[in-house]
Structure 1
Amino acid sequence: MADINIVQTHNLTPERARAAAQEVADKIAREYGLACNWDGDVLRFERSGVNGALTLGDQQAAMEINLGLLMGAFAPSIRAKVTEKMQRVFAGA
């Protein structure tokens, strides 16, 4: 299993951070066909071969993605796309 861990700092209020997290989730859900749901301050997502969570903290958002064997081959591409989306949404907000 390949793991992707991305931490993005932010200076957003909890409400804005949650909205930003939802924006990231909506984008990756469309692109990768993921089902997403909130569990407190953790946005969990999954589909066959992929699962993970986006955890909101006071000044950071941490994304953990677990990839199955077949999706593991795409780890560098997935990491780059998700990192770019998180930077744009959290740091640019």
Structure 2
Amino acid sequence: MADIRITQTHELPHDAARNAAQQIAHQMAKEYDMSANWDGDVLLFSRSGVSGRLALLEKEAQLEIQLGFLFKAFASTIEEKVAAKMRKVFAAAA
């Protein structure tokens, strides 16, 4: 079960939504030292203690993050930062 779930609606064409998701992946890689790769329209990411997926749907992006024990204390901070980035990136990409 995900510790963090964020759904971001958008009006982007598929390529623009994928580019927005890639920007979020770059930020997470930089800030949290994560690796990420695409499996179809799902971006899978992980690092020690954190894993998740960002699924691109026609009008929304669904993010789910599982946190290990040490990261659970930072769940609200991580959620706030990632949600703000998703709002910004998916709106800016339009």
The answer to whether the superposition gives a TM-score over 0.5 is yes
Q: 2:91 & 2:31 partners in 1: Cα distance?
A: 21
Q: 1:76 & 1:87 partners in 2: Cα distance?
A: 16
Alignment correspondent of 1:59: 59
- Identity, % of aligned positions: 55
TM-score by length of 1: 0.96
3-state SS, counterpart of residue 12 of structure 1: coil
Alignment of 1:10-89 (within 5 A): 10-89=10-89
Q: 2:2 & 2:41 partners in 1: Cα distance?
A: 24
Letter in 1 for 2:54: L
The 4+ residue runs of structure 1 with deviation greater than 2 A are: none
Matched positions, count: 93
Structure 2, unaligned stretches of length 5 or more?
none
Structure 1, unaligned stretches of length 5 or more?
none
